[in-house]
Structure 1
Amino acid sequence: MSAPMFRARSLAYRTDFMIHAFHGTVTEREDCVRLETPSDPDFYSGNMLLFPSRPGPGDAVRWVRRFHEEFAHAPRVRHVMLGWDDPHGSKGGVEPFLAAGFTLGENDVLTANTVHPPPRPLAGLEVRPLESDAEWAAVVELHLTDDEPPAPLDVYVPFVHRHVGRYRELTRAGLGTWFGAFLEGRLVGDLGIFCREGVARFQEVETHPEFRNRGVCGTMVHEVSRHALANMGASVLVIVADEHGPAGRIYRSVGFRNTERQYMLNRRPVPAT
């Protein structure tokens, strides 16, 4: 990551590209920016186009055409992923995309400069960097506990292995740290945090289903936030949460505040019959 960080207006997309560009390429065009991860065509948000403003009339055709043009050299990229760099704007004209089979992702982008303990810290939870191959393997298993995987298992399982492997390479390169949350020696949660130019971005915050609603997530995010502010040169912490999920409430409970909005449109590949 020696090249200058891509200067999106959106903190969410700026830090997304900051991380994903380690294994991919960021190519600026006149009308959009292409993020590509050649090693993983099934990585939806690692192969996408980012446009400068929200979609308007005719963009449901134009944006999809531009995606296919930009990824014409990569036939194994079978999805279509689109975003727009408008952190404070509205959704724009998404209805034609939805009618064409896209799903809309709506995220809250939360930031903090300081944090405080959660209302229910979990006593006995050990939060520390991963130390062994076995602990990284446990992270893979934890991320495969999803009851509703976003892709067929024959695609999703190898993707998770590759995805966790990419994060491990990032930590080996000294660009961030992956933390595990351990209770009586068992991995019950994990997350990564990566920092550049004073901006630290959380990644893949996960709690084992058997240990949710016990304070694992809040305790883990609080402790890692303190670490990033004290030891990683971070002055701004960034974390992204699905608007419709419970995570945002937990992040706000330790001091994060809603700062921006992030929208994206994704059309997944049609399953083979």
Structure 2
Amino acid sequence: MDIASLAFRTDLAMLEHSGSEIEDRGTHLVVRTPDNPAYWWGNFFLLSTPPSDADEARSWVATFETQFPGARHRTFGVDGQAGTIDDLAPFAEIGLDVDLSAVMTATSVHEPPRPNTDATYRPLDSDSDWAQQIEVARAGEDVGYELPFVTARTAAQRRLVDAGHGAWWGAFEGDRLLASMGLFTASPGLARFQSVKTHPDARGRGLAGTLVHRVSRYGYDELGAHTLVMVADPDYLAIRIYRSVGFAETERQLQAERKPAG
């Protein structure tokens, strides 16, 4: 299966780097992360085209259940670069949540309008730093996720660093981690941002924009990237931060999911 979506191509590269398994079935990919089966977007189907109607969507759900018999979630990506939320209507009709994300790219960056010069910006390099990464993840958008899930995902992120694919950076005040993000090589000349997060106590201080700029420079200068990729919620305020340093929306990513009950 040839993948057109820049977002999914880089997603899959990150998953493969950290130990996930990808099986090509022609019409779809089956993606598995054996060491973190509760990771919805590490255990999913990537479809070459969206379902044409609700019956086909139900068929995909049934096929998913045969491949992931113990899973409490149902997750589907749909390949493409310029889809719309209407393409996912058959999944919505059978009760799945559907989502469209902005795929943002940059071939050059500049400082944000109000850079934060008080914090220290550096890669995570100690057990203490990585322990704090779990705290920042759970305090931010991962709030509500169980600790074992966040811990397993953080361990996978650290494996990416240890394998030499890139680095996980943080904005520190003293020894305290306030914001963090990863940047890793997906293929020659292409690098992908991962999990841009700021602790709720530190938002509104320009940390994320400054860190995105610093990490982008690392991508160009040390990873040899020509194009940087990040995926963002088009309705979330953070997208303005990415635009402020030079990122622009170039594609869209389509996903459908049914979260575990409760």
> Given the two structures, how large is their TM-score scaled by the length of structure 1?
0.90
**Aligned residues of 1:111 and 1:237 also touching (Cα < 8 A):** yes
Q: Distance in 2 between matches of 1:46 and 1:147?
A: 17
Cα RMSD, aligned residues only? 1.6
* Matched residue, 2:257: 266
The equivalent position to 1:50 in structure 2, one of 46, 51, 72, is: 46
**Aligned residues of 2:51 and 2:90 also touching (Cα < 8 A):** no
Q: Tell me how far 1:263 sits from its aligned partner.
A: 1.1
Q: Please tell me the residue identity of whatever aligns with 2:52.
A: G
SS in 1 for 2:139: coil
**Aligned residues of 1:56 and 1:92 also touching (Cα < 8 A):** no
Q: Please tell me the residue identity of whatever aligns with 2:9.
A: R
Q: Does 1:68 align with 2:65?
A: yes
**Aligned residues of 2:190 and 2:226 also touching (Cα < 8 A):** yes
* Matched residue, 1:180: 170
Deviates more, 1:29-38 or 1:85-94: 85-94
The equivalent position to 2:56 in structure 1, one of 54, 59, 65, is: 59
Q: Distance in 1 between matches of 2:158 and 2:245?
A: 27
SS in 1 for 2:239: helix
* Matched residue, 2:121: 127
SS in 1 for 2:213: helix
**Aligned residues of 2:140 and 2:198 also touching (Cα < 8 A):** no
SS in 1 for 2:85: coil
Residues 31-180 of structure 1: pairs in structure 2 closer than 5 A: 31-57=27-53, 58-71=55-68, 75-146=69-140, 149=143, 151=145, 156-180=146-170
**Aligned residues of 1:13 and 1:85 also touching (Cα < 8 A):** yes
Deviates more, 1:229-238 or 1:99-108: 99-108
Q: Does 1:13 align with 2:3?
A: no
Q: Which runs of 5+ in 2 are unaligned?
A: none
Q: Tell me how far 1:7 sits from its aligned partner.
A: 5.0
* Matched residue, 1:193: 183
The equivalent position to 1:241 in structure 2, one of 226, 232, 236, is: 232
Q: Which runs of 5+ in 1 are unaligned?
A: 1-5
Q: Please tell me the residue identity of whatever aligns with 1:19.
A: M
Q: Tell me how far 1:55 sits from its aligned partner.
A: 2.9
SS in 2 for 1:160: helix
Q: Tell me how far 1:126 sits from its aligned partner.
A: 1.3
Q: Tell me how far 1:246 sits from its aligned partner.
A: 1.2
SS in 1 for 2:194: strand
> Given the two structures, how large is their TM-score scaled by the length of structure 2?
0.94
Describe the shift of the 1:167–1:70 C-alpha distance in structure 2 as closer, same or farther (beyond 3 A).
same
Residue deviations 1:106-137 (CA, integer Å, cap 9, x gap)? 21000000000001100122111112101110
